[in-house]
Amino acid sequence: MAVLAQFIIGLVFGCGLVIGGMSNPAKVLNFLDLGAIASGGWDPSLACVMLGAIAVTFVGFRLVLRRQRPIFDTAFHLPTATALDARIIVGPAIFGVGWGLVGFCPGPALTALGTGGGAAAVFVAAMLVGMTGARLLANRPGASAPAVPRA
């Protein structure tokens, strides 16, 4: 039952990405191009998608965390670390630069694979190589950062 519920949730999420235009890199890049505000070429529509996602997440977390435990697990698995380290700074910076350069982030790129776009396939392949490299780097002998947990 849990796998079916997770599949349906993922399907709804993917449909939301497609309907919201997040899987279209041109739309994302037009949103990120703040220099186009003066010329009228800026597309603010993704701000509505992001604000909607923030609102749903804000309310959802408040409701879910009132429960004693999750529906499909025995306990909540929330982050406990509060210290900032290089991984917390560099990882999101790489994510942001990549998103700004090509207009894809991981979720929408996976969704865009369903449309058969070559750009999405190249991005996902590069993303997988980068994820593998990051895991190997973090788990190398003598690494000072904590090992990346296996999913």
Q: Specify the pLDDT at position 23.
A: 80
Helix, strand, coil percentages, rounded to 5, for the chain? 65, 0, 35
Q: Specify the pLDDT at position 69.
A: 93
User: pTM of the entire structure?
Assistant: 0.66
Q: Specify the pLDDT at position 148.
A: 53
Q: Specify the pLDDT at position 134.
A: 84
Task: Give every residue of the chain whose pLDDT is below 50, as ranges.
Answer: 151
